[in-house]
Amino acid sequence: MRKTKVYYRGCLIGGAIGDALGWPVEFMSLEEIKSKYGNRGISSLVIGRRGRAEVTDDTQMTLFTAEGLLRGETRGYNKGVSETGKCVYNAYLRWLYTQGDPADDTLNIYDGYLIKQKELYVKRAPGMTCLTALRNREMGTVDNPLNDSKGCGCVMRVAPVGLFYRPQFAFNKGMECSAITHGHIIGHLSAGAFAYIIASIMSGMDIAHSVEDTLIELSKYYNSEEMVDLLKKAINLSMGKKSNEVCIKELGQGWIAEEAIAIAVFCALRYKDDFEGAIMAAVNHSGDSDSTGAMTGNIVGAHLGLNKIPRKWTSKLELYDVITKVADDLLTGYSDDGDWWMKYPGY
């Protein structure tokens, strides 16, 4: 059965918590993390200067992905013309504006809900590929790649695609959203696969089956063999006896897209009913802790729902109200009851 509101919220809030937990240790080696936070590594949210646990570009861009999809598809429903990719691109330009870049006066796009949220106007180590691509004012597509990057910035932001569409649509839309800034096919496939996992969970599958289905879908694409192998390795490691540290080291560091999704899949499968265990495993390593934390939190949060995320993780989270509102909008398509949305072809 299709998941309800608490699971939409669980997915986006779960991702934001993983992001916030991983952010203080993003650029630290595991040894450095342990010497600062003890042998278990970082195990609770660090509270920032404003009294909240801080989220980074992963959560910020996830919100803007959602806004782009919502505006594109709502327009499509009402006017019959849907340029969702362009709307997501424009949403990313609004994100760029929140990062301190000047507005482009030739574009009439600087409006909407997110751009009014002051807490979004902070720079927390935004990815260079995203910044550079957006500053060039050219929108990349799968057929017209902008560069050769497969940095994980193209995949950590696409959970809303999986919340928004059925799995089959989600794969293609995830690829499209990724191609806006990143040109490498493995980046596109990683984003497609990640969106597909989330969409499958939202359609009522458990995490293991959603990952299995994703592998079948992924295998249909050219150049996907290595990625399929890496994800199979993540599945096997999750069922084995090796420690989290050893397993994650075998999968990579998560700076590039396929490693980030492999680490997230590993952590989500090993701790599928234990949100805390999942995000702690996902951030305590020498790689891109906030992105692997965010993606793991998205998957396990979508599976468990917000009610099963312990309160100690949610109570001091920055942007909590904004994130839950955006999650609700993804469920209902800006309407009160979601009625038109349920009849929409992509849903």
> How many C-beta atoms surround the C-beta of residue 264 within 10 A?
32
The one among 290, 299, 314, 326 contacting Mg ion by CB under 5 A: 290
- Which residues 6+ apart lie within 8 Å of 14 measured at CB? 275, 279, 297, 298, 299, 300, 301, 302, 304, 306, 309
**Of 51-59, 99-107, 214-222, 242-250, which segment contacts Mg ion by CB under 5 A?**
51-59
**Under the criterion CB under 5 A, does residue 58 sit at the interface with Mg ion?**
yes
Q: Which of residues 263-282 bind Mg ion (CB under 5 A)?
A: none
Kindly state the smallest distance separating residue 28's Cβ from Mg ion, in Å.
14
288 is an interface residue for Mg ion by CB under 5 A:
no
Side chain identity, residue 157: R
**CB of residue 314 to Mg ion, shortest distance in Å:** 19
CB of 11 to Mg ion, least distance (A): 18
* 259 is a contact residue toward Mg ion (CB under 5 A): no
Please state the closest distance from residue 171 (CB atom) to Mg ion, in A.
24
Instruction: Indicate left, alpha or beta for 38 from its phi (over 0: left) and psi (-120 to 50: alpha).
Output: left
**Residue 194: phi, psi to the nearest 5?**
-65, -45
Is residue 210 at the binding interface for Mg ion, with CB under 5 A as the rule?
A: no
Judged by CB under 5 A, which stretch of 39-47, 158-166, 286-294, 333-341 contacts Mg ion? 286-294
Q: Does 54 bind Mg ion (CB under 5 A)?
A: no
| CB-nearest residue to Mg ion | 56
Closest CB to Mg ion among residues 55, 198: 55
Q: How many chain residues bind Mg ion (CB under 5 A)? A: 4
Least distance between Mg ion and beta carbon 125 (Å): 5
Q: Which is nearer to Mg ion, 58 or 318 (CB)?
A: 58
Write out the two tokens for 197: 């996992």
Tell which one of 13, 55, 57, 167 touches Mg ion (CB under 5 A).
57
Q: Which is nearer to Mg ion, 244 or 289 (CB)?
A: 289
Report the nearest approach of Mg ion to the CB of residue 60 (Å): 8
Cα distances (angstroms) measured from residue 192 to each of 154, 159, 179, 258: 10, 10, 10, 11
Does residue number 56 form part of the binding site for Mg ion (CB under 5 A)? yes
Beta bridge mates, 47: 53
Round to whole Å and give the CA distance between 149 and 129.
7
Tell me the C-alpha distance between 114 and 15, whole Å. Answer: 18
Which single residue is written with the structure tokens 């649509």? 169
Looking at residue 10, its amino acid is G
Q: 229, 283 in Cβ contact below 8 A?
A: no
Q: How far apart are the first and last CA of the chain?
A: 14
CA distance 143 to 185: 10
Q: C-beta of 127: minimal distance to Mg ion in Å?
A: 7
β-bridge partners, 311: none
Nearer to Mg ion, 67 or 290 (CB): 290
Q: Which residues bind Mg ion (CB under 5 A)?
A: 56-58, 290
